Amino acid sequence: MLDAILRPRSIAVIGASRKPNTIGYQILENLVRHGYAGAVYPVNPTATAVHSIRAYPSVEAVPDEVDMAVIVVPKQHVVDAAEACGRKGVKGLVVISAGFAEVGGSGVERQKALMEIVRRYGMRLVGPNCMGVLNTAPDRSMNATFAPTMPPSGPVSFMSQSGAMGVTILDYAKEYGIGISQFVSVGNKPDVSGNDLIQYWAEDERTGVILMYLENFGNPRKFTQLAREITRRKPVIAVKAGRTGAGARAASSHTGALAGTDAATDALLRQCGVIRVDTVEEMFDLAMAFSHQPVPRGNRVAIVTNAGGPGIIIADACEANGLEVTALSAQTTALLEKHFPEEASLANPIDMIASATPQSYRIAVEAVLADPSVDAVIATFVPPLGVRQEDVAEAIVSVAAHSEKPVMAVLMGREGLPQGLAELNAAGIPGYRFPESGVRALAAMYRHRRWLERPVGQVRAFDADRATVARIITAARAEGREKLSETEVMAVLEAYGIPVAPYRIARTADEAARAAAAFGWPVVMKVLSPRIIHKSDVGGVIVGVEDEAELRAAFDRLTVEVPARAGIGADQVQGVLVQKMVARGKETIIGMTLDPQFGPVLMFGLGGIYVEALKDVVFRVQPVTDVDAAEMVRAIRGIRLLQGVRGEPASDLGAVEETIQRVSQLVNDHPEIQEMDVNPWMAFAEGGVAVDGRIRIAVDAG
């Protein structure tokens, strides 16, 4: 159905104007000036012709079929115009007009009325509050936007949630020679969304790269499902605006305090293979590389330069971005020695010195491309006197144009836009002004290669006692409690096959002594009170209790001193939890928080009292596959602590991965769970156990 919008055979411009500097004038002019291959029908009730084209008083007066209508009328007339389009049989609408849900109030109702008409007549809608759509295919050549620029044709399809950003992006694409296939400004997107577009572009033969400027996700779970499949066929590169917020929301769990919408965004995009960038400029740097260059087989890079400084900068940037400045083979070095003076440095980076000519670049780039230890080449040029950038660009193109390995070029002009970039981009060789830009693009291509080679992963299903957990949650909600007690948390974990350290609740010192005798010394003792969330902060956890005398003293402290320190009465202490002390394990945390947009977001990291101090954690959006869980465990900075250092045994990473997946299943089975922590999860050389945890549930059944 999107063919009616992206490949229409005929277009009506409702609100076409004869007044320059109006959107209705610009859109019709763009369609005509850029050679739209279909029929165009201006609709203007007060004009007989617009742009020398016969105009019609209404869309229903057009004698022929109309595939798509671009509506550019005041907001109060949009609904009537859409109704007329429905009666006419128009299949697609692009509503440029603003004044809908984005302004709130009556605009929300206006948008609802518009969508009711769209659904009733089975139309598709782009907008409202957008800048239009564009398709550069020769059999369409459609610029139904008010942007003043028509970009060159190419393999990149682009979706923007911002009209203003869309204008800038099309200008940027033309300046840098980045070929655009299709462009859609989605506006408020109550109908056609980013999900619809990536699904359409996945099947479009002319689209090789998908770019997205996002401000929010409409349906993130559907996006995840689509993108996981599409990114294995075509790269998807996204700028997601809105990284920061006014502050973290209040949260009772460590996971809730550490997680935020941007952490969830990062996790979602990473899980489905979408390449996230920080800026529009970086997005186009990557688009230039992905548009025409093959994805590298590995991360080994050769650097060719005529100046030492840029070579060093590129080498440093490679290492920082996970690329290896590889050692060249003896055969390659011997070949280079035949052509370059003694002053040249022929180790990688290859510094041909300032006397290098275009022929020097041909020789060096060709030599390293032939080296089996090289996966990609970055050639950089600083213009000395007497050597033109265009000639160097032509030399690089002549060698790299037919290479099966990616080649990046960095032309560092003294001022302005380097002259050779046009030649490079026209030949499909990405050219950059700054070394770091080329390295970032190549690193993104290598990450995409790793994604393509990554196993798809499976969501495992474990045996679980769902009924027990449901009873615990139901009982807590009946009492109006949003936090489960420590013993309820332990029971929930055990119901899902997550081992917990042995424990008992003691309401007297004698009961505590009997529990310790049953477990064996030493034990850990913890105050039990719904009013004390972070027990360690008020001395509510006492570890290493070795005998009965220590136990009785600890019991008194936990039931008398700790409540006073926490500012609560002793009557609000429910007892003391006595637990077998778990030693010689590594403290980790496995948690979850419910993001209002993304749903359950799972977290893993180093745990215990250090979790918020070190913040060495990673996130994934539920459901978490076995591959996701393995990546989470290995993505933290402190992974070496779990792998064993200084003679310590390695932790059982498989047990940690399984526990992450069991928590994922738990929160999927019981959507009432809003936040939870298993902290610490003690990872042993074999297996592991949960020592403490907390779970917060939604009390409101709605």
Tens of pLDDT, residues 43-102 = 999 999 998 999 999 999 999 999 999 999 999 999 999 999 999 999 999 999 999 999
Which residue shows structure tokens 């690089």?
Answer: 396
Spatial separation of the C-alpha atoms in residues 232 and 101, rounded to whole Å: 35
For residue 151, whether the previous peptide bond is cis, meaning omega lies within 30 degrees of 0, is no
Burial 113-140 (b: 16+ CB within 10 A, else e): ebbebbeebebbbbbbbbbbbbbbbeeb
- Residue 225: name the closest of 459, 447, 548, 494 by CA: 459
What 8-state DSSP symbol labels residue 646? T
Position 215 confidence tier, pLDDT thresholds 50, 70, 90: confident
Spatial separation of the C-alpha atoms in residues 579 and 386, rounded to whole Å: 80
- Residue 308: name the closest of 347, 357, 258 by CA: 347
Backbone dihedral angles phi then psi of residue 169, each to the nearest 5 degrees = -65, -40
CATH number for 294-453 (one of 3.40.50.261, 3.30.565.10, 3.30.43.10, 3.40.50.970): it is: 3.40.50.261
Residue 423 has pLDDT above 80, yes or no: no
The predicted pLDDT at position 258 comes to: 52
Distances (CA, A) of 290 to 284, 296, 387, 409, 448: 10, 11, 29, 14, 10
The predicted pLDDT at position 607 comes to: 84
Please state the three-class secondary structure of 261-323 as a single string: HHHHHHHHHHHCCCEEECCHHHHHHHHHHHHHCCCCCCCEEEEEECCHHHHHHHHHHHHHCCC
The predicted pLDDT at position 199 comes to: 96
**Percent with pLDDT over 70 in the chain:** 95
Give the H/E segment covering residue 578: strand 575-580
- Please provide the average confidence, as pLDDT, over all residues in the chain: 91
Q: Do domains 502-580 and 586-697 have the same CATH topology?
A: no
Q: Which two tokens mark 602?
A: 């799972």
Spatial separation of the C-alpha atoms in residues 692 and 490, rounded to whole Å: 8
On whether the CB atoms of residues 179 and 156 are closer than 8 A, the answer is yes
Backbone dihedral angles phi then psi of residue 564, each to the nearest 5 degrees = -65, -40
On whether the CB atoms of residues 693 and 493 are closer than 8 A, the answer is yes
The angle at the Cα of 494, spanning 470 to 592, to the nearest 5 degrees, equals 70
Please state the three-class secondary structure of 445-513 as a single string: HHHHHHHHHCCCCCCCCCCCCHHHHHHHHHHHHHCCCCECCHHHHHHHHHHCCCCECCEEEECCHHHHH
Distances (CA, A) of 143 to 53, 133, 649: 17, 7, 64
On whether the CB atoms of residues 306 and 343 are closer than 8 A, the answer is no
List, as own/partner pairs, every contact residues 628-633 make where C-beta atoms lie below 8 angstroms and the sequence separation is at least 24, other chains included.
628/271, 628/457, 629/657, 629/658, 629/660, 629/661, 629/664, 630/657, 632/602, 632/604, 632/657, 632/660, 633/604, 633/657, 633/660
Mean per-residue pLDDT, 620-642: 93
- Residue 368: name the closest of 340, 395, 328 by CA: 328
The angle at the Cα of 595, spanning 594 to 599, to the nearest 5 degrees, equals 75
Q: Find the length of the chain.
A: 702
Residue 246 has pLDDT above 70, yes or no: no
Spatial separation of the C-alpha atoms in residues 489 and 693, rounded to whole Å: 6
Mean per-residue pLDDT, 197-208: 97
Sorted by where each begins, the domain ranges of the chain are 3-215, 294-453, 502-580, 586-697
Residue 416 has pLDDT above 50, yes or no: no
Q: Which two tokens mark 583?
A: 């030693």
Mean per-residue pLDDT, 449-476: 96
The predicted pLDDT at position 201 comes to: 98
On whether the CB atoms of residues 189 and 102 are closer than 8 A, the answer is no
The predicted pLDDT at position 252 comes to: 45
What CATH class has 586-697?
alpha beta
Pairing mode, strands 39-43 and 10-14: parallel
Spatial separation of the C-alpha atoms in residues 214 and 519, rounded to whole Å: 55
94: helix, coil or strand? Answer: strand
The predicted pLDDT at position 248 comes to: 37
- Residue 362: name the closest of 401, 331, 323 by CA: 401
Distances (CA, A) of 515 to 316, 633, 660: 59, 35, 30
Sign of CA dihedral 365, 371, 377, 379: negative
The predicted pLDDT at position 166 comes to: 82
For residue 128, whether the previous peptide bond is cis, meaning omega lies within 30 degrees of 0, is yes
Residue 130 has pLDDT above 60, yes or no: yes
Mean per-residue pLDDT, 487-496: 96
What residues pair up with 185 in beta bridges, in sequence order?
Answer: 132, 160
Spatial separation of the C-alpha atoms in residues 583 and 575, rounded to whole Å: 24
151: helix, coil or strand? Answer: coil
User: Which stretch, 161-165, 390-394, 644-648, has highest mean pLDDT?
Assistant: 390-394
Q: Is 552 exposed, middle or buried (0-12, 13-18, 19+ CB in 10 A)?
A: middle
The predicted pLDDT at position 251 comes to: 40
Pairing mode, strands 350-351 and 300-305: parallel
Q: Which two tokens mark 399?
A: 């060698």
User: Which distant-in-sequence residues (6+ apart) come within 8 Å of 494 by Cβ?
Assistant: 500
Q: Which two tokens mark 387?
A: 């050597």
Position 242 confidence tier, pLDDT thresholds 50, 70, 90: low
The predicted pLDDT at position 413 comes to: 67
CA neighbours closer than 13 Å in the CB half-sphere of residue 143: 24
Give the H/E segment covering residue 652: none
- pTM beyond 0.85: the answer is yes
The whole-angstrom distance between residue 566's C-alpha and the CA centroid of its chain comes to 41
Spatial separation of the C-alpha atoms in residues 664 and 461, rounded to whole Å: 10
List, as own/partner pairs, every contact residues 483-486 make where C-beta atoms lie below 8 angstroms and the sequence separation is at least 24, other chains included.
483/252, 483/530, 483/694, 483/695, 483/696, 483/697, 484/694, 484/695, 484/696, 484/697, 485/528, 485/530, 485/574, 486/526, 486/528, 486/577, 486/692, 486/693, 486/694
CATH superfamily of 3-215: NAD(P)-binding Rossmann-like Domain (3.40.50.720)
The identity of residue 207, as a single letter, is T
What residues pair up with 214 in beta bridges, in sequence order?
Answer: 240
Mean per-residue pLDDT, 681-690: 94
pLDDT in tens, 264-306: 888 889 999 999 998 888 998 999 999 989 999 999 999 999 9
The predicted pLDDT at position 173 comes to: 85
160: helix, coil or strand? Answer: strand
Residue 480 has pLDDT above 80, yes or no: yes
Burial 373-407 (b: 16+ CB within 10 A, else e): ebbbbbbbbbbeeebebbbbbbbbbebbeebebbb
Position 418 confidence tier, pLDDT thresholds 50, 70, 90: low
Spatial separation of the C-alpha atoms in residues 251 and 675, rounded to whole Å: 9
User: Which distant-in-sequence residues (6+ apart) come within 8 Å of 165 by Cβ?
Assistant: 213, 280
Query: What CATH number is given for 502-580 in this structure?
Result: 3.30.1490.20
